[in-house]
Structure 1
């Protein structure tokens, strides 16, 4: 592996692009990488962090796979590293085509991706593997929606509603009957997640009723878990999401919670996920971690695990290149913390000028 390794990193506009590139460039074997980034937009920030950039069609476009294959062939790419939920669905269905041109894709097979991206099936997987999950109802009409709210104790209890299929915070709302105090109104920044029942009913009545999960509200700390899995075993690194803005961790700290690690390993094996991916848990009122969702791809702040001593993004590339990673004797630095800030890239006439 001494030669320069050319890789494609998709989702150049994704929040985690800088962390992914950092993890590749700062790998423990000091191997050189040439990084090509791609995105559906023509001028994302990752264009200026990579060595080369290509604009590509959307993953749903029939030309998407051919576009990625063309880049891979022309640039002599060895590994493709997808960063977005939409792309992993498409890429996982065409793995054989990439193997034919000697290109590896860091993604699980389609059957695993399909289950992991389905918030309803994830809960069913938790049932089968004895992993705690929130009380829930799958609904697709207003009558069942009202019934689920009543069973979950609304209006005395907050209730969470989210689409069966979505990524990030898209479509997620916390239905609450609480009224803001004057102090909360004046001092706290709005999150955009809270909504009253009347307002969300207006949305649902404005088109075909979507398939939604209605779940209990979990009031405790939220955790992301960075996971690496290969034939030698599974490494799970939980981190407390101490400050979340627009679904992105701005302050996260490694906390090696044994229960969360145990549950993440169970789910990883049950779903047959591989390479690097993640889960999210949230504590209930009794401080029991319950599943929120699965992210069967690189997570936005997975670079935290790189700093904690296990560069799973790089190890996934190494694994994809045929080098089995031994995980029996690793040390994770507990309490490692990542604090995100508002940096920026300066450009002029589509050329890099500087970075803050």
Structure 2
């Protein structure tokens, strides 16, 4: 195994976690060199300068998406594709045979597993079967339905949250409450757009709208669980999300939470997830962990697990190459702190990387 030099294509190089993914590949103790190809829908992305080659590609819903990715994989002799964009996952999963025909493996779960993971309804059914606690949730498609669901969940005495059935980051997520000081927040807090009153939410949504889930608000700490699953091993590495900005972890700590490990392993096996993926949980008022969602792809701060000694991203690549990697247990209580860096570019060439040597 040692000494192999695969070519890996990483999609979504403009994503917040792209640099962490590329860094994790560099840390492989089994692969001597990993040649990386980056793609993104936008040409000007910092991640392109961290890759050996870069291509601008159409979005996943473009009918030419698969053909263009296949052409890139053939040109660059790509061994493994690591998708990082939620919308791309089912597209890749439906074209696995076409990529296999040119000698490229795609590190993505099969279509049935993706549907179970991405569909909030199916995920809740799996959780119910396994005894994994879930927030009380009601699907709505109208103003009247929203008002009725909110009342059933104790609103306005208790805050609620709304989100799409298939979420991507915090897009469409709102915490709805009448009990917050908007004036104080205006002067003292940086705007994040996630808190709204019911009147404000209804003014945005109108009388009818695409399906939303209305759920109980969980006031406790949020946790991500970074996962990896192969034919021989199912790994779960929990971490508390100690500081979050715009849905991105700016401080997170790898923590030995056995309940989250057990829940995540059971869910991954039952859903049939493969390669690298993740779950998100949050503590309810009584301290119970309740699941928020499943991310059947590399998570944005999965690099924290790499830093703790569990390189799940490297394991995903090696599994896609046909090997049987063993992921080491992490060093618990390892913390990750995200900071703002940046690069300088002139005439399309990198001229400096601020923070590279920090």
User: Hey, what does 1:303 align to over in structure 2?
Assistant: 303
What are the equivalent positions in structure 2 for 1:17-96 lying under 5 Å apart? 17-96=18-97
Equivalent pair of 1:120/1:213 in contact (CA under 8 Å): no
| 2:345 alignment partner, one of 324, 344, 347 | 347
Structure 2 distance, partners of 1:190, 1:349, is 35
SS at match of 1:251: strand
Structure 2 distance, partners of 1:306, 1:38, is 23
> 1:120 deviation in Å?
2.5
Structure 1 distance, partners of 2:300, 2:319, is 21
Equivalent pair of 1:244/1:251 in contact (CA under 8 Å): yes
Structure 2 distance, partners of 1:195, 1:184, is 12
User: Hey, what does 1:161 align to over in structure 2?
Assistant: 162
User: Hey, what does 2:12 align to over in structure 1?
Assistant: 11
What are the equivalent positions in structure 2 for 1:206-355 lying under 5 Å apart? 208-327=208-327, 330-355=328-353
Structure 2 distance, partners of 1:165, 1:268, is 18
1:177 pairs with 2:185 = no
> 1:183 deviation in Å?
5.0
Q: What are structure 1's unaligned runs of at least 5 residues?
A: none
Structure 1 distance, partners of 2:103, 2:20, is 26
Structure 1 distance, partners of 2:10, 2:233, is 25
Cα deviation code 1:124-165 (max 9, x no counterpart): 221111100001111122222111111110000000011112
Equivalent pair of 2:5/2:31 in contact (CA under 8 Å): no
SS at match of 2:210: coil
Structure 2 distance, partners of 1:182, 1:69, is 53
Cα deviation code 1:312-345 (max 9, x no counterpart): 1011111111111235xx3310001100000101
> 1:26 deviation in Å?
1.3
Structure 2 distance, partners of 1:14, 1:165, is 18
SS at match of 1:209: strand
Equivalent pair of 2:227/2:278 in contact (CA under 8 Å): yes
TM-score, normalising length from structure 2? 0.96
> 1:30 deviation in Å?
5.0
Structure 1 distance, partners of 2:326, 2:239, is 23
Equivalent pair of 1:345/1:355 in contact (CA under 8 Å): yes
User: Hey, what does 2:195 align to over in structure 1?
Assistant: 194
User: Hey, what does 1:131 align to over in structure 2?
Assistant: 132
Cα deviation code 1:171-220 (max 9, x no counterpart): 010110113176544333232111001111111117x4210100000000
* Count of residue pairs the alignment pairs up: 353
Query: 1:64–1:162: structure 2 CA closer, same or farther, 3 Å change rule?
Result: same
SS at match of 1:48: helix
Equivalent pair of 1:120/1:138 in contact (CA under 8 Å): no
Equivalent pair of 2:4/2:31 in contact (CA under 8 Å): no
> 1:354 deviation in Å?
1.2
> 1:88 deviation in Å?
1.0
Q: What are structure 2's unaligned runs of at least 5 residues?
A: none
TM-score, normalising length from structure 1? 0.96
SS at match of 2:228: strand
